[in-house]
Structure 1
Amino acid sequence: MTHTVTDRFLRYVVIDTQSDPKSSTQPSTEKQKDLGGVLVEELLEIGVVDAHIEENGYIYATIPSNVDKPVPVICFCSHMDTAPDFTGTNVKPQMVLNYGGGDIQLSPQQIIRVSDNPALRDQLGNDIITTDGTTLLGADDKAGIAEIMTAAQFLVDNPDIRHGTIKLLFTTDEEIGRGVDKVDLTKLGAQFAYTVDGETAGHIEDETFSADGVEITITGVAIHPGFAKGKMENAIKIAGAAINRLPKDVAPESTTGREGFVHPTGVTGSMEKAVISLIVRDFTDDGLTAKEAMLETLVKDVMANYPNSSYSFEVKEQYRNMKVILDRHPEIVENAVEAIRRAGMVPVRGSIRGGTDGSRLSFMGLPCANIFAGGHAFHSPLEWISRQDMEKSVMTLVELATIWEERAKIMM
């Protein structure tokens, strides 16, 4: 498998698959199916005979069990879309062979600095894949796809490696929060799952933020500005006052680790009506509730200065911390930890300051942890990944398949 995963990755990243949050369709962009068609063709070529793409762009496939005892059916999942944050058109991947340390200059304006990417210090002698600095690379999550595909081929080509049934699922629109909206879990038929969508090699993540969206609608008092004295209450200004009151120590740019935040993501409006869109994140539901209460109190305090105006405050649940579900099935993480160890790394358990398809899948009835894919600096033109870390991911997936088979007799 030495170079196969790299070859696959380099093929996949040049296919533009950006999702579009403004689209109401699924997939949100038809070009995601361009990669889907390639993946189905490759799966069929390696002997995964049921591989197919459905109308929503999802790819389902099965590697049948090669043992005669019951083994839990596990699923490996990655998403095909790339983030809308930065262009993914005309990706030109390049490779720094035998990285010798120091910053990597992509262009006069774009430099991957070690000071911003301390993980580069662990990559000496490795081969680093980057872009030319004008696009995303797409390692999030085409690295995960390439790794799953390579592991699938390795298992099919080596029938002496004992494993239970392995399901493959490639999703669309994960980057815009719709990744598993229409996944058919009955059709998938898995009991446990792993998204291959994490960062640093050796990491396994069983915890995410809990997440809500908040929409604050402010109705002001609009009147001709020539006759506005003592009467006008400009909804745009009220919205600005509310945003200005947001605590600076509860923001994405000032929090880390297990600290949550409140983050405005959009403002639209006129004198008469303005809408503020925010996201609220915390690792506990209580923390989420407390931040939302703080936010509404803040808005009420601002509105007190505008007695003829009104507001509405709407909270929409987005996803919840998958640890609640995974703690009921400790074997999911335990088996992944052992697989990482067998693949030659020191396992590191961690939390995600965000969410994955696995968050939603877990609460839909498919408990799902997140395994590293090896990429760094996601959603930016400074994205990078090493060939060696992708190979470690492939080895981890193969080991994981064998561990579930080995331990089946203990669990069943």
Structure 2
Amino acid sequence: MDQPNQSDVLERFLRYVRVTTQSSEEHCDVVPSTACQFDLANLLADELRGLGALDVEVSEHAYVTAHIPASPGAENAPRLGLIAHLDTTEAAPGDGVNPHVVHYEGGDLVCGVVDGKEVSINPSKIPALDEVAGEDLVCSDGTTLLGADDKAGVAEIMELVARISQDPLLPHPPLGICFCPDEEIGHGAELLDIPAFGCAFAYTVDGGPIGELEYECFNAADVTVSFEGFSIHPGDAKNRMVNASNLFVEFHTMLPAVERPEHTEGYEGFIHLCGISGTVTHATARYIVRDHDAERFQQKLDMMERAAGFVNDRLGEERVSVEIKPQYRNMAEVVAGYPELIDRARNAFETTGVPCRIIPIRGGTDGAQLSFRGLPCPNLATGAYCCHGVNEFIPVSSLEKMVDVLQALVAQFI
């Protein structure tokens, strides 16, 4: 059960995760992809107005934006943006989140019991559990994800706004606050009106364990491969049938297994098969392709096109087609030109007693789109672990400490 005497940021977080906001790949042609994201957007807008924020708006696409006036004497400093996203992934159940606080003493972390079986994870899977033994951890009840990605970031930013509301003398420049929809399906900050937002720089608060600082992400593409077969009665099939599902198998086995995500780490990219549907007459496979290095990224895409070409050449006709949809690029191409953003974030962690680790994101972030649209935007930790699954958790101390980090960060921009 939830612990008594909750800190303000914990209370916010527990409240926000109970609001369903899963985005939907199926409806990615609409922003937001799910109407439920407006529920949290409107709630946050009301809270921002209550905290004295200016220009609070919820756009027709569920972007929440607001401005916070500077502390006295810092009015002429460039406006700094703080950004998080509203939606949670559809990779795990996310409706009806029931969060609770578990005091973890080590061993298996049991977040709940589902159908008579414990939903748990242990340090052999997540070695970082050994580092949080003795702490209070927020978990779901095991039936859903928790939603710390990215409602922890939302709660931490909102709690900073609350602190400034209570003490406007806390040093800070003019601030822009933004909560975006549909980050999990690649839309993210695509429709944010950057000139109206008015920020010179920004940070997303959408990372993992506390202390992580990221300014490199994958180059990314979504790849759909289509296979066209020819169906005929199997009794008459010799030299005539073309089985589309078998064409997929042939194509897929030409992609190196070593480049699947389950065999990669760090700066190693991957080709990930997300899904396959197939019959004799037609098959479709969806992949995502990722790499931090732009040249290696292009090599992966070229390899997929060559594999399709090989199958077509063998058949003597065009039956395999590859559609490549670029998603985002490595934001290091932009952010590396602003080393002060990295230095100030590192200093904010370290001055609040948090060791800083600069690591590459093995994924994407709103900061990638924003950086290439002219708003340099590194990514900060939220404190969360095991995101996108029912074992997701976040230490209460990380929620609280990240508000301190944000307070120390904004003070450096006056």
Q: TM-score, normalised by structure 1?
A: 0.94
**Does 1:375 pair with 2:391?**
no
Q: Write the letter of the residue equivalent to 1:80.
A: L
Does the alignment pair 1:25 with 2:30? yes
Q: What does residue range 371-410 of structure 1 map to in structure 2 within 5 Å?
A: 371-405=380-414
Contact 2:72/2:169, CA 8 A, preserved across alignment:
no
Query: Within 5 A, what are the aligned runs for 1:301-320?
Result: 301-320=310-329
The answer as to 2:70 corresponding to 1:61 is no
Question: Does the CA-based 8 Å contact 2:308-2:321 persist in structure 1?
Answer: no
Q: Hey, what does 1:11 align to over in structure 2?
A: 15
Partner of 1:233: 242
Question: Structure 1, residues 237-288: CA drift from partner, whole Å, max 9, x if none?
Answer: 1112211332110000111111001112233344344332211111111011
Match of 1:410 in 2: none
- 1:164 is displaced (CA, Å) by 0.9
Amino acid at match of 1:89: D
Unmatched runs of 5 consecutive residues or more in structure 1: 406-412
Corresponding letter in the other structure for 2:42: G
Are the aligned partners of 1:27 and 1:56 in contact in 2 as well (CA < 8 Å)? yes
The secondary structure found in structure 2 opposite 1:77 is strand
**Which of these residues, 327, 330, 343, is aligned with residue 336 of structure 2?**
327
Separation (CA, whole Å) in 2 of partners of 1:169 and 1:379: 22
Greater alpha carbon shift after TM alignment, 143-152 vs 36-45: 36-45
1:281 partner SS: strand
Pick the aligned partner of 1:72 from 61, 78, 98. Answer: 78
Q: Which residue of 2 aligns with 1:409?
A: none
| Pair 1:43-2:43 in alignment | no
Q: Whole-Å Cα distance in 2 between the matches of residues 35 and 215 of structure 1?
A: 33
Q: Partner letter of residue 333 of structure 1?
A: I
CA RMSD of aligned residues (A): 1.7
Q: Distance in 1 between matches of 2:342 and 2:162?
A: 24
Is contact 1:220–1:308 with CA below 8 Å preserved after alignment? Answer: no
State the 1:116 CA deviation: 1.5
Answer whether contact 1:220 1:309 (CA < 8 A) is retained: no
Q: Distance between the aligned counterparts of 1:268 and 1:134, measured in 2?
A: 27
The reply on whether 1:268 has 2:272 as its aligned counterpart is no
How many angstroms apart in 1 are the aligned matches of 2:133 and 2:319? 59
Partner of 1:188: 197
What code does the residue aligned with 1:287 have?
R
Mind listing any 5+ residue stretches in structure 2 that lack a counterpart? none
Deviates more, 1:68-77 or 1:294-303: 294-303
Amino acid at match of 1:46: L
CA contact (8 A) 1:238 1:303 kept: no
Match of 2:125 in 1: 116
C-alpha distance in 2, partners of 1:309/1:320? 31
- The residue aligned with 1:208 is 217
* SS of aligned partner of 1:404: coil
Q: How big is the shift at 1:87?
A: 1.1
Percent identical across equivalent pairs? 38
Q: d(CA) in 2 for partners of 1:305 and 1:344?
A: 62
TM-aligned CA deviation for residue 191 of structure 1 = 1.0
In 1, Cα distance between equivalents of 2:357 and 2:211: 6
**Deviations for 1:182-214, whole angstroms, at most 9, x for unmatched residues?**
111111111111110101111110100111122
AA in 2 matched with 1:25: V
Q: Which of 211, 226, 240 does residue 217 from structure 1 map onto?
A: 226
* Contact 2:311–2:320 under 8 Å retained in 1: no
Structure 1 CA distance, aligned partners of 2:118 and 2:301? 39
CA distance in 2: counterparts of 1:40 and 1:284, whole angstroms: 39
- How far apart in 2 are the matches of 1:283 and 1:239? 27
How many corresponding residue pairs? 404
- Tell me the CA shift for residue 224 of structure 1: 4.4
Q: Provide the rounded CA distance (Å) in 2 between the counterparts of 1:16 and 1:401.
A: 30
Please name the residue that 2:263 is paired with: 254
TM-score, normalised to structure 2, is 0.93
Amino acid at match of 2:149: D
Deviation at 1:330, TM superposition (A): 1.0
3-state SS of paired residue (1:5): helix
Alignment correspondent of 1:85: 91
Structure 2 residue aligned with 1:298? 307
8 Å CA contact 1:216–1:277 kept in 2: the answer is yes
SS at the partner of 2:252? Answer: helix
Q: Tell me the equivalent position of 1:353.
A: 362
Q: After TM superposition, what 4+ stretches of structure 1 lie above 6 angstroms from structure 2?
A: none
Give the conservation status (yes or no) of the 8 Å contact 1:233–1:308.
Answer: no
